[in-house]
Amino acid sequence: MRLEDMRAQVQAELEHIPGWPKEPQNKLRMLYWSSRMRSLGKKAERNQSALAVLQECIEFLRKADPNLEFQYDKAFFKAKSN
């Protein structure tokens, strides 16, 4: 996949992760962007769905604060898990 296509895909997926409330959501969006880009790249170690990447990001962020709650379009990411 070309870099431009990867960026467009991840940007479209980010539309399903709101930027509010600011603090936890922005951290999730930043981590998702970099993790998802790596999962789509030529040197990706494994093929991961958007949902798998999102779940890994949430687990990572919850290590610092287990009480964090994140907002995202569950139906969209469930559909992207295939």
Domain ranges of the chain: 3-79
Q: How would you write the pLDDT of the chain (82 residues) with one tens digit per residue?
A: 889 999 999 999 999 999 988 889 999 999 999 999 999 988 887 789 999 999 999 999 999 999 999 999 999 999 987 6
pLDDT on residue 59: 96
Query: What are the C-alpha distances in Å from 1 to residues 6, 9, 10, 49, 57?
Result: 7, 10, 12, 15, 23
Burial of 17 by CB count in 10 Å (0-12 exposed, 13-18 middle, 19+ buried)? buried
CB 11 within 8 Å of CB 29: no
pLDDT of residue 41: 85
Q: How much is the pLDDT for 34?
A: 95
DSSP string, 10-57: HHHHHTTS---SHHHHHHHHHHHHHHHHHHHSTT-SS---HHHHHHHH
Q: Please report the pLDDT score of residue 23 as a whole number.
A: 85
In this prediction the pTM is: 0.91
